[in-house]
Structure 1
């Protein structure tokens, strides 16, 4: 027994090192390879097949002297199981170190371990593929090894050499080689999209058509859920849908309504020279009386726990700095299947992530409330000057008790310098209307039937903080253009049902999305293959004249990702990154609630710094990107329609387990028992 334990331990350590080598390959390609290459993208997307099969074949070469096929298969499967175990360990430690996060790329590309909300909390466990790989191969292999050892007999389960086993051995070897050639060729054939799949007689949406839809939506003005302009927009969008996609369904959801009336910040209100400072409100933060509150101001740095412990802030207004979170192209591409930027226009680009400041807020605010502050002023560091300060965030729809305002960095410096001279009072005003369950949000959708009930949902959200050319007039304009295109195609030519949906509660925490899931999880969503969510067709202003980097988040089906990657290359959609749903970003889109409930999404989005600002005007929409993007989605949908449902639902780890178990394992067993061999002693090899 001790001998067997030593052999198994040596095998485990050896294959652990080999598995680590396989883990390093995607990280090296991400750092030093050509991330714009379609070939490299396919390698990343389908990489999950390589290590299990390679480890099985390596074990086949190393352990052919085992006394019977059960013991042999046990050792081969344990080699494969080592890979799944290492990936589970690396992925579970991904928050410990960026290096471990890179080494777990194969796990991320296959669906990862935990699906997270963009603010960080865990939505659900997604690592059952890794767990089942460990159970089947590592534990199952150990059981086979023990069973084979106990059952070994004189000829050990091998076919004796009295007959001619060479033909069977040759056939199994030829089949193995043929499979190793056929699999990559099949992957390429499956993954290569066709282009120009436009229906004769139906005009592809033009730039003017798409942009006119965007202009119309922009013309409604700010579309904050529950407001008069919001309800006007919802009614008009419903009418537009009815023009070409009747019947149209409108579903309502109630939420807590908050609307600002007045906000102001005055330094030294009782002094000889009171100074009013430019500010903007934190939506859904606490309410003051119309005259505001006057109290001492206390600076707490970046709001760390130690900063709060060092000061008494009960009954005072706190001043806290919010650092930006800069996200650069060079970092984002490391976690992508593909980072398409053939002319290196985005290389080296790094700028503030629009929700970065509020990610800090979510950590800091509970301390503010618990410490007894009666008001808060937050300094937006590195927030660009794009006009009046109008940063409308956060947008989770949660009413908080402490009234809070934002100020610019230069005004924050003024406050900090003044505090160095001595105590300072401020008057903070944030008067608002608050109505519990007083708001109503709408989801609007139209169904175009196809040959089957299996469906694609094409969606965006129509609510917005401002008129918002990008957020999300642009997404709505694209959905309307695609709906009009598909409505002109006869039912008998639509392969699958299409649902065109505009959600309306993005800026109050997406409760209507949650309601849609609850209402339709047994209906529309049970037949859904993908939700294709389109948001934020944006430029990179004020940093460059190019397109803002755009991410597309995928439920980890290799066919769907491969087809999209090929179309990105074909249509030249530069500055596009393709991500799994389990990156550190989560799925920061309107499709996030669906993704976090396990429904498959393909979600397009960008994050320009002006996203929540009134500076998001029509000028920010890159018109030259509209037609290529519309053509991409038409081609993408038609390419998806080439494949049966099961081809769009599988996960790469599941395919790896199936191929390893039911294709390669039988072939190596045949090779093991039929291999011509000289007289061998019955010692078990290492």
Structure 2
């Protein structure tokens, strides 16, 4: 395996710029990956286009009338896929607290710009340790206490939908604990929402916590504000790219990552794509003759509601029927924390999770490949349980379809903001991760789907499902039923 080659793949993908679904940089990256699949020597290469709407912002602003009766501009960032105003909207602010049902039940949002605080929940290593099927954490860095903010979970997002239903004219979210006090939060991006655009008919904005403290005071007083979000939306496409190493049987193992990104996309997900490419090249260089057909897949539109994965599943039932396992690899990342108001790398790799079935064989294999390649710390978690009904990855939909999954991911605090830079990649782990999952492919090549579907860990499954149910119960008690995160 070749770190220079993996680094080159990363650099070439990053050169395209923000690889957003439907935009030129994203489409150029798709063509590049197709070409690299050909150079590696994969067979039956396909680039399958998926129609989407191309959402491109051109300008945005928030201005609020101060106590001095003058409009002042506040630093902000747009919420992707929300409606364009195409003109300035002037309306009073209304403060909705943190979106708790007792705070918003009597508020009248009609004709107003709703301001709500978003506080990300804190991941706790002790809780994960209890629910994990195995833990690789030799120095107890990850499993003995609080970790960091779960920046992909937004408990107050349901207020946006309430604001739409109530006739509000705008929405502003305050990111109260985004590490680094960054407002460039590219979320929500349609994940599990169906159509990423039609569900967001209200212009939306994010502000950081310092700006948010100032905005909160003015929202409580219902000051006038002006909002503007201009841009265009037109028909476009994103693509899935696939290629195979033919096997002796028609059974399939899928090895995948997504190719799109909201910003520079270093860890998200040039790092994951470089691993998938390296596994494919290494197996071909070794002249591997697998029993199963190995299908390598670069999915499009993760940042458009995971439309690439969902479309692949919908359009290829004949492949799913023969698929014994899906391997997904995302975010080979360095850890960062906030110091003196800014994000800084700690010098340690970010904690990773490997989601696997409730199956002793799968857990044994996961332990073996992770320990052999010194991928510490990693929690081996059940695909269903502590974080919901499927893994929080772009491959999670495969689990919903009954496919045994091995989904590897880390979630550094900078993942969804404009701080995902080249130096954030954990370069020293690229080869170990590639070796680990190449080994996994070869091990799974000897199994049947029935081997992997056999369920063990019945008590762990009960505890995990109870924990997920109890967490949902607490959230709905606080925020109300039907909370979307």
Fold-level match, TM-score > 0.5?
yes
The Cα shift of 1:439 comes to 2.7
The Cα shift of 1:644 comes to 4.8
In our comparison, the structure showing a higher alpha carbon Rg is 1
Greater strand fraction, Structure 1 or Structure 2 = 2
Partner of 1:584: 386
Residue pair 1:217, 1:477 contacting (<8 A) in 2 also: no
Partner of 1:327: 123
Residue pair 1:252, 1:512 contacting (<8 A) in 2 also: no
Residue pair 1:224, 1:463 contacting (<8 A) in 2 also: yes
Equivalent position to 1:248, from 45, 56, 59: 45
The Cα shift of 1:383 comes to 1.1
Cα distance in 2 for residues equivalent to 1:304 and 1:648: 42
In structure 2, the CA distance between the partners of 1:353 and 1:573, relative to structure 1 (3 Å rule), is: same
1:264 aligns with 2:58: no
Partner of 2:224: 425
In structure 2, the CA distance between the partners of 1:385 and 1:431, relative to structure 1 (3 Å rule), is: same
Partner of 1:514: 310
Residue pair 2:184, 2:417 contacting (<8 A) in 1 also: yes
The Cα shift of 1:645 comes to 5.0
Residue pair 1:532, 1:602 contacting (<8 A) in 2 also: yes
In structure 2, the CA distance between the partners of 1:350 and 1:613, relative to structure 1 (3 Å rule), is: same
The Cα shift of 1:270 comes to 11
Aligned counterparts, 1:362-377, within 5 A: 363-377=158-172
Partner of 1:86: none
The Cα shift of 1:516 comes to 1.1
The Cα shift of 1:419 comes to 4.8
Equivalent position to 1:277, from 74, 83, 89: 74
The Cα shift of 1:653 comes to 7.7
Partner of 2:193: none
Cα distance in 1 for residues equivalent to 2:311 and 2:107: 43
Partner of 2:477: none
The Cα shift of 1:249 comes to 0.7
Which string of whole-angstrom CA distances, capped at 9 and with x for unpartnered residues, describes residues 530-556 of structure 1?
111000111111353211111111133
In structure 2, the CA distance between the partners of 1:269 and 1:381, relative to structure 1 (3 Å rule), is: closer
1:450 aligns with 2:247: yes
Stretches of structure 1 lacking an aligned partner (at least 5 in a row): 1-204, 655-686
TM norm structure 1: 0.62
In structure 2, the CA distance between the partners of 1:569 and 1:390, relative to structure 1 (3 Å rule), is: same
The Cα shift of 1:470 comes to 0.6
- Counterpart of 1:413 in 2: which secondary structure? helix
- Counterpart of 1:507 in 2: which secondary structure? coil
- Counterpart of 2:336 in 1: which secondary structure? coil
Alignment root-mean-square deviation, CA: 2.0
- Counterpart of 2:310 in 1: which secondary structure? helix
Greater helix fraction, Structure 1 or Structure 2 = 1
Residue pair 2:357, 2:453 contacting (<8 A) in 1 also: no
Equivalent position to 1:383, from 173, 178, 202: 178
Residue pair 1:303, 1:364 contacting (<8 A) in 2 also: yes
Equivalent position to 2:103, from 294, 303, 307: 307
Partner of 2:291: 495
- Counterpart of 1:531 in 2: which secondary structure? strand
The Cα shift of 1:206 comes to 2.5
Partner of 1:393: 187
1:559 aligns with 2:358: no
Residue pair 1:318, 1:377 contacting (<8 A) in 2 also: yes
The Cα shift of 1:423 comes to 4.1
Aligned counterparts, 1:531-542, within 5 A: 531-542=326-337
TM norm structure 2: 0.86
Residue pair 2:125, 2:146 contacting (<8 A) in 1 also: yes
The Cα shift of 1:263 comes to 0.9
Stretches of structure 2 lacking an aligned partner (at least 5 in a row): 191-195, 339-345, 459-485
Equivalent position to 2:433, from 629, 634, 637: 629
In structure 2, the CA distance between the partners of 1:406 and 1:645, relative to structure 1 (3 Å rule), is: closer
Equivalent position to 1:525, from 320, 324, 332: 320
Query: Alignment length, in residue pairs?
Result: 441
Which string of whole-angstrom CA distances, capped at 9 and with x for unpartnered residues, describes residues 403-460 of structure 1?
110111111211233456x44111111112134xx23111000011022222211100
Residue pair 1:297, 1:425 contacting (<8 A) in 2 also: yes
